[in-house]
Amino acid sequence: MASKVLLTGASGYIAQHITSELLSHGFKVIGTVRRQEQADQLHKQFSDDVPALQKDPSLLTYVLVPDMGAPDAFDEVLKSTPDITYVLHTACPVGPNDDRALEDVFFKPVVEGTKNIFNAIRNLANDSVKNVVLTSSFVTLMNADKAEDKSFIYTEKSWNNNTWDQIKNRDELLAYTVSKTEAEKGAWDFVDREKPNFKLTTVHPPLVFGPQKFDVAAKKESLNFSAEIVGSLLRTKYPSDDKLFDDVVTLSVDVRDVALYHVLPLLNADLASKRLAVVQGKFSAQRILNIINENFPELKGKIAVGKPEETARLEALKAPEYNNSVTVGLTGVDPIPLEKTVVDSVKQILRARK
């Protein structure tokens, strides 16, 4: 009998790829979404994509959790499905879409939502849940005091030291950073204090790139934050945009690797109680532009070229230094190269927007 996995935030960009990865490994997936129309659309899309679902639609079900910041947000899900073995908590906003206070947009759903799912598991599913995987972020590893220090190397042991008191005006990035850090610290503190039956693993991706799970999502004029970097470069003009594209320089990872890293702890006991830093490598908007121009001759003369010769120097100067050898050693996974990530993304966008 297939083990059941509760996947929160199942409509998200990363979570849709996690759903695919779980189904390919024979798990039964219960995903949480906010609205019924999301549930209906996703089930149809996956049914068209996964032959096993056509034979047994119950391998993938969706339940409504309108507000994961509510104290009892996940209680009904766990009560109605008492034999859940694994929980993957991915639900998280990327940025505010309204004028609410940052505490309401970030702190409540991220920090309180994480606290709520852990309390619900302890109270209602402590005997059945074996592993919990939390989607953290590489920002929780990034020490703010070392931001300009190229001699400092970020590892799985690093921690962000920003606090909520440092947030001024509507600094959404800092609010996101602090919320993710406090949520992860709260998760580890919970495990240390409550000593539940389940083991915790956290996954730490930097900026996430790669194709949408379904082409229809790539038709949108504006994609989610990370993926939109590729979309925005496709809208540049030749030769007017001849600057060095240095506005985004950091670390990257392919969304399909992020999905895999969420499933590996369910298959490999050695990944329990670990922080997994899943990183592809350094990147810049200029490097992505280089890849597009090198691989899509039909776009040459239409999109910007920038200054390709400056790419390596730019990334060496601005991208953070990291060492995730512990993660690589534990998983044995070779990351998908950035070139494949970008090529697959651009092919999908061009295909979807014909």
Give the residue-averaged pLDDT of 205-232: 88
pLDDT at 97: 53
pLDDT at 96: 46
pLDDT at 98: 54
Give the residue-averaged pLDDT of 335-354: 95
Q: Which residues are catalytic?
A: 180
Give the residue-averaged pLDDT of 250-262: 98
Q: What is the pTM of this model?
A: 0.95
pLDDT of residue 91 exceeding 90: no
pLDDT of residue 354 exceeding 50: yes
pLDDT at 94: 54
Give the residue-averaged pLDDT of 113-120: 94
pLDDT at 168: 78
CA distances from 141 to 17, 171, 244 (A): 24, 19, 28
Structural domains present in the chain: 4-210+250-280+322-330 (3.40.50.720)
pLDDT band at 93 (very low <50, low <70, confident <90, very high): low
Q: For residue 233, give both structure tokens.
A: 């470069």
Q: At what angle do helices 13-24 and 36-49 cross, to 10 degrees?
A: 40
pLDDT at 284: 96
Task: Count Cβ atoms below 10 Å from residue 197 Cβ, excluding itself.
Answer: 12
pLDDT digits (tens, 9 = 90+) for 130-177: 999 999 999 999 987 787 788 999 999 999 999 888 887 778 888 889
pLDDT band at 247 (very low <50, low <70, confident <90, very high): confident
pLDDT of residue 321 exceeding 80: yes
Give the residue-averaged pLDDT of 276-300: 97
Cβ neighbors of 343 (< 8 A, separation 6 or more) are: 291, 295
CA-nearest of 293, 277, 281 to 327 is: 277
Residue 182: strand, helix, or coil: helix
Strands 131-135 and 153-154: unpaired
* Helix residue spans in the chain (DSSP H): 13-24, 36-49, 51-55, 75-80, 102, 113-124, 172-194, 225-233, 255-267, 285-295, 311-318, 325-331, 338-352
pLDDT digits (tens, 9 = 90+) for 33-90: 999 999 999 999 999 999 999 999 999 999 999 988 888 999 999 999 989 999 999 9
Q: How many residues does the chain have?
A: 354
**Distance between CA atoms of 12 and 38, rounded to whole angstroms?**
10
Question: Residue 197 carries which DSSP code?
Answer: S
pLDDT at 144: 74
Q: What is the mean pLDDT of the chain?
A: 93
Secondary structure of 303-328 in the HEC alphabet?
CCCCCHHHHHHHHHHHCCEECCHHHH
pLDDT of residue 241 exceeding 80: no
